[in-house]
Each structure stands twice: as C-alpha cells, then as structure tokens.
Amino acid sequence: MTDTSLTTDWQAWQTSWDRQQEWYMPDREERFRVMLEVVEAVAGPEPVVLDLACGPGSITARLLERLPGARSTALDLDPVLLSVAQGTFRDEHRVEFVTADLTDPNWPDALPRRPYDAVVTATALHWLTADALRVVYGQVAEVLREGGVFLNADHMRDDEAPRLNAALETHHAARKERELGAGAQDWRAWWTGVAQDPALAEQARRRFDLFDDPRQPKSGGEGQIREDRPVTTAWHLDALREAGFGEARRVWCSSSDAVLAALR
C-alpha cells in the first residue's frame, strides 16, 4: 500500500486552513505578529516554546520564520490537524509533537521538556468550560519558567460598548456573506474536503469520533462559543491572575477577539 503521507501536499492543507480561518478572522496575521513580538521581547531570539492546542502548527510556522533559533513543542489531540502539522514539519528538527488532551489533568506529564520560556495558543481554548479553563491556566503557569510568558489569542468580548459591538458584528457578517458568495471556504466545507482526502480520511473518522462532525449542520462551528464558556476579556484576566500569574493584560484586540499576555 502506498504511504500517502509522503506524497500529500501538506503545505496546501496548511494554506487552505489559513484561508478558512481568515474568513472568520481577517486580522489573524496581525494577532500572530503581536504574539510573537511579545515572545521575542520576553524570551529573546531563541525561546523554547510550547504551542498549546497547536492545530496544524500555524503559530509554530510563524515562530520559526521570525525566530530561527526557536524550538517548539506542538501539542494537540486532533488527529487530522496533528497529521497536517507533522507532515508539514516532518524534516524540521526544531519541532517535536505531543498528543495530549487538555481535559486530562495529567497532560503536562507528556511534555518532553520544561520549563518553557513561552506558552502560546490561538483560537483553541474557547472549547473549554470555565472550570476546565481555570485548571489549564494553572497548569500553564506550572510549566513556564519564572518570568516566562503565556499568550492566549481567542474569541473574547468587551461588553463596555454594546452598540458599537452590534454595528461591527453586522458589518463583519455582511463581509463574510460576500466572501462566501465569492468562493470562500467555511469551517464545514474545509472539513468536508478533509474527509474526502485519502491521506486524511482515517484521521477524520477518528477526529469525528473524538469531538463532533463539523460537516453536520448542528455542529458547533468555529467562531461559536457555547453559553457555558467564558466570553469576556475581564473573566480571562481575572482567571489568569488567580492561576498564579504575576501580571496579565490585553496586548491586542479586534471587535471579537483579543490577545492576552500573562507573565509568570
């Protein structure tokens, strides 16, 4: 049997993931730029970084491009996204992979090294309930060195300007509708393509068993946050300080997202 992992264009899957995510977040690259600027400012040009819930390795790719002396531990549970990441970085000695579930209290035991200079994550932790996220924040603090930095870029709302928020939501909804009509790919369409690729079909079946099937209309799509999830920047900042971080602040925001930085 042919090993399709050797012939699959993993970079094409990376690119299609980026385009799909940018449909939801057109300022996604700016988020990454700010995150890595903070990493460099705190940890210098050769940081050892934990890419938490790494997905296909979006942050790791940009980290290595900006800081060639960096090293990354990329951790995730999703078999599809890990396969894309492992295929993309198969010849990259600066990256190591860990399969772990953040809802398992023992996930830090799977890490090959510690402490880390920085822990980074983007558009990932909003799947966790408030109680689970508090636990993860505490565990992140424990795997960071003293003076290390944690950066979380995710969907977070600022409730201080509800009318402005409503206007921006309407504006962005119209943009997404226009781009979808022009051929943009959304969450469901991307996963439909994954399931149809022979190199990823088995991983897709396992992924759908682990989580949900994004191809289904009632699936919790990217960009949606359930009511039992924390949604405001204020909640996250308070939770980070309670978890043991000495400092925590917002370093970037858009109408729907924020990047929070917390110093150990």
Predicted pLDDT of residue 2: 43
d(CA 127, CA 235): 15
Angle between helices 10-24 and 28-43 (to 10 degrees): 110
pTM above 0.85, yes or no: yes
Residue 225 has a pLDDT of 52
Give the residue extent of every domain in the chain.
4-160+222-263
User: Residue 231: what pLDDT?
Assistant: 87
Tens of pLDDT along 81-132? 999 999 999 999 999 999 999 999 999 999 998 899 999 999 999 999 999 9
pLDDT averages per 10-residue partition of the chain, 264 residues: 66 97 96 98 98 98 98 98 97 97 97 96 95 97 98 93 93 96 96 96 96 77 61 95 98 95 98
CATH of 4-160+222-263 given 3.40.50.920, 3.30.365.10, 1.10.10.10, 3.40.50.150: 3.40.50.150
Alpha helices per DSSP H over the chain = 10-24, 28-43, 58-66, 79-88, 130-143, 162-181, 187-196, 201-210, 233-242
Q: Which of 147, 151, 145 is closest to 250 using CA atoms?
A: 151
The order of strands in the sheet holding 144-155 is 95-99, 71-76, 48-52, 116-122, 144-155, 257-263, 247-253
CA atoms within 13 A on the CB side of 202: 4
